[in-house]
Amino acid sequence: MTAILEVDALERRFDVSAPWLNRVIERKPRRTLRAVDGVDFTIERGQTLALVGESGCGKSTIARLVTGLHSPSGGSITFHGDRDRMQMIFQDPYASLNPRWRVGRIVAEPLRTLRPDTPDSMVSARVDELLRTVGLSPSDASKFPHEFSGGQRQRISIARALAGEPEFLVCDEPTSALDVSVQAQVLNLMKRLQREMGLSYLFISHDLSVVRHMADVIAVMYLGRIVEIQPTADLFANPLHPYTRLLLETIPDLEAPKRDRAPMGGEVPSPVSPPSGCSFHPRCPLAFDRCKAERPLRRAEVHDRRVACFACEEKAHV
């Protein structure tokens, strides 16, 4: 297998200081938010890597770094492919389509930008074909986005992303604005397109049951760091990090609902002032002194670089 995307020691800091005058008068220090704090992963061609985590963990920032909408503060992103053949699907199909443009123009935009000398007849033939690929009809090209439901709009976003014949798609919560029955339609479509066109996905979601259905590899993020990364089946069969176990615990099981479970306490701390050492230690049932002082790394001798956790390290050595 060959890698299509390699991310190494990626960092992104945001300056969230108070305005200059307040800093001078109120003697407030500069404050930085480490949205992405030393992240590395690799995506193989034709595969899906999913980033999961709760809000504020930095997963959307990574999507924006990979697509070049933000520039990294440190580390590197290496894309082994044609930059023009990377596209993005956004979460909100209401905000990501221009309401004043007809669908045909929206879908044709990447074509007109990337290959400006394509004749009009070929562009419209391609738009018809794309609309059919995503399960819409060619006559929809003359309609405006408001004439479509949420699920249909997300299909339009997918058709637009496919127009540039991408090999790599970044999908930031593509179905979380949709109802479940429509979500199933969009997820099935995305899987079919991956099979037929050999696409690679960076798939971002907070929903572990969606991710289990879509991803080959799952990276679990907490406060800007990857705490665990494993092939999907292994992650669900043998979750290593205590945070991953907490997340798995919260997935409702419809066949055998856990009606009297005791939910785990605590909340996600503010990313502006994360806890010392392992940022999960205040909520962790396994935490000991070392977790407060030192930052755990994913090390080769501990579960083959799959987890960043001292408790797992100790267990592995025993």
Residues making contact with other proteins (CB under 8 A):
54-55, 149-152, 179-185, 187-188, 191, 206, 208-210, 212-213, 236, 246-247, 249-255, 257-259, 261-265, 267-268
Min dist CB 105 to other proteins, Å, is: 24
Nearer to other proteins, 52 or 302 (CB): 52
Count H helices and E strands in the chain, helices first: 11, 9
Residue 83 CB neighbour total at 10 angstroms: 9
- Between 29 and 257, whose beta carbon lies closer to other proteins? 257
Show the CA angle centred on residue 97, arms to residues 94 and 101, nearest 5°.
125
Q: Closer CB to other proteins, residue 76 or residue 139?
A: 139
Exposed/middle/buried for residue 142 (C-beta within 10 Å: 0-12, 13-18, 19+) = exposed
Residues 200 and 43 sit within 8 Å (Cβ to Cβ) = yes
Smallest distance, other proteins to C-beta of residue 5, A: 24
Q: What is the dihedral of CA 60, 66, 70, 74, to 10 degrees?
A: 110
What count of residues does the chain have?
Answer: 318
One-letter amino acid at 90 equals F
CB of 318 to other proteins, least distance (A): 29
Nearer to other proteins, 283 or 306 (CB): 283
Task: Choose between 85 and 143: whose C-beta lies nearer to other proteins.
Answer: 143
At 202, list the tokens: 């960076």
Please report how close the Cβ of residue 128 comes to other proteins at its closest, in angstroms: 21
Ramachandran quadrant class, 223 (left: phi over 0; alpha: psi -120 to 50; beta: rest): left
| Minimum gap (Å) between residue 143 Cβ and other proteins | 15
> Coil, helix or strand for 4?
strand
Residue with smaller CB distance to other proteins, 182 or 316: 182
Closest distance between other proteins and the C-beta of residue 263, in Å?
Answer: 4
